[in-house]
């Protein structure tokens, strides 16, 4: 919503202009926070140390991309492979029902996008189920290694030239519906209302809300009991394998949705992006936010993304204070400072920013009120 301010208020500071890094950060953080929360569901709430998140994101991203490239674009996107082997595309199917432009077009786009996102999650969840059967019998580090390997294998398979007609080999798939497709434009192409930041926020919030509801249900309690003590949980009649599988599939489902959102954010889907580095990045966010805290994960995501994409950017270029040239600042220095910041957090907040607590707005307001009353 902030994005639209510049249209109504002239002379707004640069930060609130649509081109500001603020909106890049907000979009990316919205996407990452969903993935971080999904990872926290598995690692923080069920106690399964899995490092397959990037693999499931990749599955989601590709599912979304392959389903959403319209037929008119396919020739161009898949030019190396002489067109796409996969004829179906959701936008075309919906355009046939609702028409191309106007309100019908908008409904078609929203529905096709929604269905593709859900399918992206389902594909990731399905693969999680398959891989879960052998892998979930492993414990701690072994599970981490197995899932990490699975993600790397997936990445290699999707880059395989033989699968080119479907996955476009090592090249990126583009031309599908992205966040900026949701900006409402008039006939001449000028933007009337920007929704490109609102959409990822909406999707992420709904998904995170679903995860929170799950965590607070009796299933969530069972997950936490498995994390605390597997043997006692089993003695209480909790079927360990069934519940671990449930957590793994649900976590992967949302990672898949997150992957699809990520593809929308960068406007392309490419296997090269979903490396284990991405998983580590998300793991770092989960650890910084606090293992076992949803609000911690969300908070940490915004801080992390803001630092890496925006606040620390100035360290990468030469800076002058007056005539004085600040030493050390050059390309890559940002990462040095960034690492130090992370080390400080890990050392001094060993439980992460939030530990396993949640931000409780009600309690916060209550505290502030109590403080005021004491002052009076």
Partner 1 sequence: MSELLRIEDLKVSYGGIEAVRGISFDVKEGEIVTLIGANGAGKSSTLRTISGLEKPVGGKVTFNGEDITGANAADIVAKGLMMVPEGRRIFPNLSVIENLRIGAYLRKDSLDEDIEKVYEYFPRLKERSWQAGGTLSGGEQQMLAVGRALMGRPKLLMMDEPSLGLAPIVVQGIFEIIRQIHDAGTTVLLVEQNANMALHVADRAYVIENGKITMEGTGKELLEDEKVRAAYLGSTSGN
- Residue from 1, 97, 236, 344 in contact with partner 1 (CB under 8 A): 236
Packing angle between helix 140-158 and helix 276-289, nearest 10 degrees?
Answer: 140
Q: Which ranges constitute the DSSP H helices of 51-196?
A: 53-68, 71-77, 90-98, 102-135, 140-158, 164-167
234 touching partner 1, by CB under 8 A: yes
Which of 232/340 has CB closer to partner 1? Answer: 232
> Under 8 Å CB-to-CB from 5, ≥6 apart: which residues?
12, 16
Q: Are 309 and 28 in contact (CB under 8 A)?
A: yes
218 touching partner 1, by CB under 8 A: yes
φ, ψ of residue 11 to 5 degrees: the values are: 60, 35
Which of 47/259 has CB closer to partner 1? Answer: 47
224 touching partner 1, by CB under 8 A: yes
1 touching partner 1, by CB under 8 A: no
Determine the size of the site formed for partner 1 (CB under 8 A).
Answer: 19
239 touching partner 1, by CB under 8 A: yes
- Residue from 170, 238, 245, 342 in contact with partner 1 (CB under 8 A): 238
For residue 202, the minimal CB distance to partner 1 (Å) is 32
What does 60-97 look like in DSSP terms, one character per residue? HHHHHHHHHS-HHHHHHHTGGGTS-S----HHHHHHHH
Say if residue 63 is exposed, middle or buried (CB neighbours under 10 Å; 0-12, 13-18, 19+): buried
Which of 183/293 has CB closer to partner 1? Answer: 293
- Residue from 99, 184, 217, 221 in contact with partner 1 (CB under 8 A): 221
292 touching partner 1, by CB under 8 A: yes
Question: Which residues, in sequence order, are bridge partners of residue 191?
Answer: 185
13 touching partner 1, by CB under 8 A: no
Which of 139/325 has CB closer to partner 1? Answer: 139
Which of 100/228 has CB closer to partner 1? Answer: 228
Distance CA 253, CA 207 (A): 10
For residue 153, the minimal CB distance to partner 1 (Å) is 32
Residue span 165-204 as binding mask against partner 1, x where in contact by CB under 8 A, dash where not: ----------------------------------------
Which of 234/316 has CB closer to partner 1? Answer: 234
- DSSP E strand boundaries for the chain: 184-185, 191-193, 320-321, 324-325
Which of 219/333 has CB closer to partner 1? Answer: 219
For residue 294, the minimal CB distance to partner 1 (Å) is 15
Stretch near partner 1 under the rule CB under 8 A, chosen from 26-34, 65-73, 226-234, 310-318: 226-234
Q: Are 67 and 175 in contact (CB under 8 A)?
A: no
Distance CA 43, CA 26 (A): 25
225 touching partner 1, by CB under 8 A: yes
Buried b (16+ CB within 10 A) or exposed e, 283-297: bbbbbbbbbbbbbbb
Q: Scanning residues 299 to 358, which ones bind partner 1 (CB under 8 A)?
A: 356
Question: Which residues, in sequence order, are bridge partners of residue 206?
Answer: none
For residue 290, the minimal CB distance to partner 1 (Å) is 12
> Under 8 Å CB-to-CB from 326, ≥6 apart: which residues?
318, 319, 320
For residue 282, the minimal CB distance to partner 1 (Å) is 23
Closest residue by Cα to residue 262 from 17, 28, 82: 28
* Binding footprint of partner 1 on the chain (CB under 8 A): 218, 221-222, 224-225, 227-229, 231-239, 292, 356
């Amino acid at each position: 919503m902030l994005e639209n301010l510049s249209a109504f208020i002239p002379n707004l500071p640069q930060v609130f202009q649509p081109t500001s890094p603020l909106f890049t950060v907000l979009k990316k953080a919205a996407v990452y926070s969903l993935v971080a929360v999904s990872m926290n569901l598995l690692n923080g709430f069920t106690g399964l140390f899995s490092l397959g998140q990037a693999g499931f994101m990749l599955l989601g991203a590709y599912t979304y991309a392959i389903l959403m490239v319209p037929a008119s674009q396919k020739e161009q996107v898949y030019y190396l492979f002489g067109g796409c082997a996969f004829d179906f595309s959701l936008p075309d199917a919906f355009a046939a029902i609702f028409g191309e432009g106007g309100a019908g077009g908008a409904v078609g786009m929203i529905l096709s996008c929604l269905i593709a996102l859900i399918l992206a999650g389902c594909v990731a969840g399905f693969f999680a189920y398959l891989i879960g059967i052998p892998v979930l019998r492993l414990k701690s580090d072994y599970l981490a290694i197995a899932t990490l390997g699975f993600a790397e294998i997936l990445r290699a398979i999707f880059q395989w030239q033989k699968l080119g007609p479907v996955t476009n080999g090592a090249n990126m798939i583009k031309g599908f519906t992205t966040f900026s497709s949701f900006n409402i434009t008039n006939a001449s192409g000028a933007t009337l209302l920007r929704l490109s930041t609102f959409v990822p926020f909406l999707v992420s919030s709904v998904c995170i809300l679903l995860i929170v509801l799950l965590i607070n249900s009796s299933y969530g309690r069972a997950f936490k009991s498995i994390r605390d003590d597997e043997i006692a949980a089993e003695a209480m009649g909790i079927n360990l394998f069934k519940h671990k599988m449930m957590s793994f599939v649900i976590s992967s489902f949302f990672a898949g949705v997150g992957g699809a959102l990520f593809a929308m954010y960068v406007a392309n889907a490419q296997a090269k992006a979903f490396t284990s580095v991405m998983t580590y990045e998300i793991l770092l966010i989960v650890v910084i936010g606090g293992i076992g805290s949803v609000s911690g994960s969300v908070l940490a995501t915004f801080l992390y993304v803001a630092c890496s994409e925006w606040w620390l950017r100035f360290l990468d270029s030469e800076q002058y204070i007056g005539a004085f040239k600040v030493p050390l600042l050059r390309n890559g220095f940002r990462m040095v400072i960034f690492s130090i910041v992370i080390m400080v957090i890990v050392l001094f907040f060993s439980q992460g920013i939030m530990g396993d607590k949640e931000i409780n707005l009600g309690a916060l307001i209550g505290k502030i009120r109590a403080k005021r009353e004491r002052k009076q």
